[in-house]
Amino acid sequence: MRMRAGKRRLWQWAAGGLLAWANSPDVSIAQEPWRFLLPEQRRIEIRDPSQMRRARIPASMPPPTVSNLPDGLRQQYLGLDDAIQISLRNSEVIRVLTGVSASSSGATIYDPAISNTQIDVERGRFDPRIESQNDFSHFEQPQAQALPPIGPPVTAFITGDQNDQFRSTTGLAKTNVLGGTGSVNYDINPFRTDALGLPLNSQTTTATDVRMTQPILQGFGPAFNRAPIVLARIDTERSFFQMKDSVQSLVRGTIEGYWNIVFARTDVWAREQQVRQGTEALQRAEASLTAGTLDIADVAQARTALAGFRATLISSQASLLQQEAAFRNLLGLPPSDDLRFIPTTPPARGRVQPEWYGLLSLAEQQRPDLIELKLVLDADYQQLIQARNNALPQLDATALYRWNGLEGRTPDDRYIRSEDGAFTDWTAGVTFSVPLGLRAGRAGVRQQELLIARDRANLNQGMHNATHDLANSVRNLAQFYEQYLAYRELREAARVNLEAQFAQFVANQTIYLNVLQAITSWGNAVSQEAQALSQYNIELANLEQQTGTILETHGVRFYEERFRAIGPFTRLLPDRTYPRAMPSTPNTPMYPAGNQPSENTFDLRDPIARKPHTGPDPYIDPEEIKRLREEQRLRELQENIPPQPPTPELPAPAN
């Protein structure tokens, strides 16, 4: 009795301590004793942001603005091939160009390897399984025993026999590709008791059995049982082609961002020339006003035009900064640093004549989005196999064969055992089950057949969309190239017109409005020519993306990086290597290397030639002013115009 009371106190102490550990301090065990089984969250617990993981902050300078244009930056020439290589090297998370910015596509180089792990998950169903269960038992059940009617007045007493038992069951089971499950099990059960009168004490029973369960209808067949593995492989392929599609967008965006910068730099140059020409025109107009050959209205008009040119220049400079920032984002670089990239690859000027049916054939085979739709259709057919199998009745065959054994020690202390294989069991049976009508199974088959019809229509629609995308790209190629030729001709004509109008304005033979229009037309023509040629080069890359061959065209391939992770023997043996990521290789050079800025491809020359002089204003030639005054005086004499009051002389040039 003393021992039992001590055990009771020990259990009470252990249970109380465990409950106290499991419950929060704000609620006592006496109030809510069930909290040990169902703990509750009584508070909203939010960590301080400073306790969370830190993100790497890239080194970056303050971004440039139109109010604070960078000065003194180191210039680095950058070819288009080098730009693509940088973007591919920094594409752990794949970015795409979105307007004047870049953003994450949501795809990473780790996605295919992550999907690939599901193949082993599905294969694990066929791995052999070892199970072992070991139980040690001690039984001591009290029971009442009656005494004979003779003797003391006590007529009964309580006693109990001690029984010790050990049971071990070990088995090896495996599922085969036909859907059946086979197993081999070994069971041993030693037993000993202090009861009297048993023929064997202790005794050990053993049993070795072979079991087999094989589906005959539902669940039968390699195609059905391998379908989850095939679906996992298809998901891995889909993940790869989704990643490839994002990388194609990355390469195409890099090319677009590169040519956008070339156009923006050319546009800034043209607007700077407009400002320079407007400044010169204003200063000439002011000088002519001083000379009496123009009135105040012409000067006001020139000043207004110059202010407009300056406003346009600010917009062009802001656009260039935005394009450079988007390009840096796409390349995986910080928004700004001490480098300024200067594009050096000249844009392509030759006309490309694509072969229409070849484009359609390439797109049908190579476009990642069409390949993904084909993989969806492949997955549908695997799921149709599963649906048809699930619509079958359940018919399973079972078989069991067992070898039984017994050994033990007799009361006279002899050890005896049964002969091997002397006692056997066997069982064979068939289990059949089917819902009347098979309504759910048949509905599943119909649903999957309809899904196949739907996804086949989606594939055809995807090819239909690809055809229109290619047609639009072919039209754009022709349009941009023809516009480039037209704008190039317009720019040459505008240059001649500007030189002529400015010469006549200097000679006071035309009004300033004609000069203003000539300056505006020339600047717009330069910008439009650069924009059309840049759009043409961008559309060449877009056509490669529409056919799904832009990576192959640029020599970009994918390779498998591997890493070490836990192997089949867990931590008992060294780790094994597994797929980790699928980065891309560097691109093969395909663009001509340049040794000067790309915008120099265009005719970037000042359309107005100036004579060198040493006057107080670099845009006013005193000798030309004297010539203008003499021409004005002679014209007045010829037209009998009364002479005007003399105008003040210009100050002498400073030494």
pLDDT band at residue 150, thresholds of 50, 70 and 90?
A: low
What is the three-state SS of 553-570?
HCCCCECCEEEEECECCE
Question: Most confidently modeled of 139-143, 365-369, 593-597?
Answer: 365-369
User: Does residue 246 have a cis peptide bond before it, meaning omega lies within 30 degrees of 0?
Assistant: no
pLDDT band at residue 267, thresholds of 50, 70 and 90?
A: very high
What pLDDT is attached to residue 603?
A: 77
pLDDT score of 653 more than 50: no
Alpha carbon distances (Å) from 495 to 221, 336, 508, 606: 80, 36, 20, 9
What pLDDT is attached to residue 612?
A: 39
Distance (Å, rounded) from C-alpha 452 to C-alpha 641? 94
What pLDDT is attached to residue 363?
A: 95
Taking residues 386-393, report their average pLDDT: 95
What pLDDT is attached to residue 165?
A: 86
Selected residue with higher pLDDT from 294 and 185: 185
pLDDT score of 262 more than 80: yes
Distance (Å, rounded) from C-alpha 645 to C-alpha 538? 62
Residue 580 and residue 563 in contact, taking contact as beta carbons nearer than 8 Å = yes
- Lookup: tokens for 524: 């717009």
Taking residues 453-464, report their average pLDDT: 96
What pLDDT is attached to residue 34?
A: 52
Residue 345's SS3 state is: coil
Selected residue with higher pLDDT from 99 and 447: 447
User: Does residue 103 have a cis peptide bond before it, meaning omega lies within 30 degrees of 0?
Assistant: no
What pLDDT is attached to residue 636?
A: 54
Chain segment 315-371, per-residue pLDDT in tens:
999 999 999 999 999 999 998 888 889 999 999 999 999 999 999 999 999 999 999
Distance (Å, rounded) from C-alpha 268 to C-alpha 281? 20
What pLDDT is attached to residue 4?
A: 55
Sequence-ordered list of residues with C-beta below 8 angstroms from that of 197, at least 6 positions apart, any chain = none
Q: Looking only at Cα atoms, what is the longest distance across the chain? A: 172
Selected residue with higher pLDDT from 196 and 154: 196
What pLDDT is attached to residue 651?
A: 38
Question: Most confidently modeled of 200-204, 454-458, 568-572, 614-618?
Answer: 454-458
What pLDDT is attached to residue 315?
A: 94
What pLDDT is attached to residue 644?
A: 42
pTM over 0.85: no
What pLDDT is attached to residue 460?
A: 96
E strand residue ranges, 391-472: 394-409, 415-417, 423-433
| Average per-residue pLDDT for the chain | 84
Taking residues 402-423, report their average pLDDT: 86
Taking residues 411-423, report their average pLDDT: 85
Q: Which residue has the tokens 């023929």?
A: 199
Length of the chain: 655
pLDDT score of 646 more than 50: no
What pLDDT is attached to residue 614?
A: 39
Least confident of 5-19, 239-253, 385-399: 5-19
CA atoms within 13 A on the CB side of 188: 8
Cα Rg, the chain, nearest whole Å: 45
pLDDT score of 143 more than 90: no
What pLDDT is attached to residue 133?
A: 93
Taking residues 83-95, report their average pLDDT: 93
pLDDT score of 295 more than 70: yes
What pLDDT is attached to residue 180?
A: 94
The Cα angle at residue 104 between residues 98 and 106, in degrees rounded to 5: 125
E strand residue ranges, 570-635: 576-581
Residue 415 and residue 483 in contact, taking contact as beta carbons nearer than 8 Å = no
**Short-list 526, 589, 495, CA closest to 262:** 526
Q: Which long-range contacts (CB under 8 A, 24 or more apart) does 130-135 make?
A: 130/170, 130/171, 130/172, 131/169, 131/170, 131/171, 131/173, 132/168, 132/169, 132/170, 132/171, 133/167, 133/168, 133/169, 133/170, 134/166, 134/167, 134/168, 134/169, 135/165, 135/166, 135/167, 135/168
What pLDDT is attached to residue 623?
A: 55
Strand-pair partners of 208: 186, 403
pLDDT score of 543 more than 70: yes
| Percent residues over pLDDT 90 in the chain | 51
What pLDDT is attached to residue 560?
A: 92
Residue 335 and residue 324 in contact, taking contact as beta carbons nearer than 8 Å = no
Chain segment 38-60, per-residue pLDDT in tens:
667 788 989 888 888 888 888 87
What pLDDT is attached to residue 631?
A: 57
Chain segment 169-223, per-residue pLDDT in tens:
999 999 999 999 999 999 999 888 877 777 877 888 899 999 999 999 999 999 9
Distance (Å, rounded) from C-alpha 36 to C-alpha 24? 10
| Percent residues over pLDDT 70 in the chain | 85
Taking residues 285-295, report their average pLDDT: 75
- Lookup: tokens for 520: 């505006």
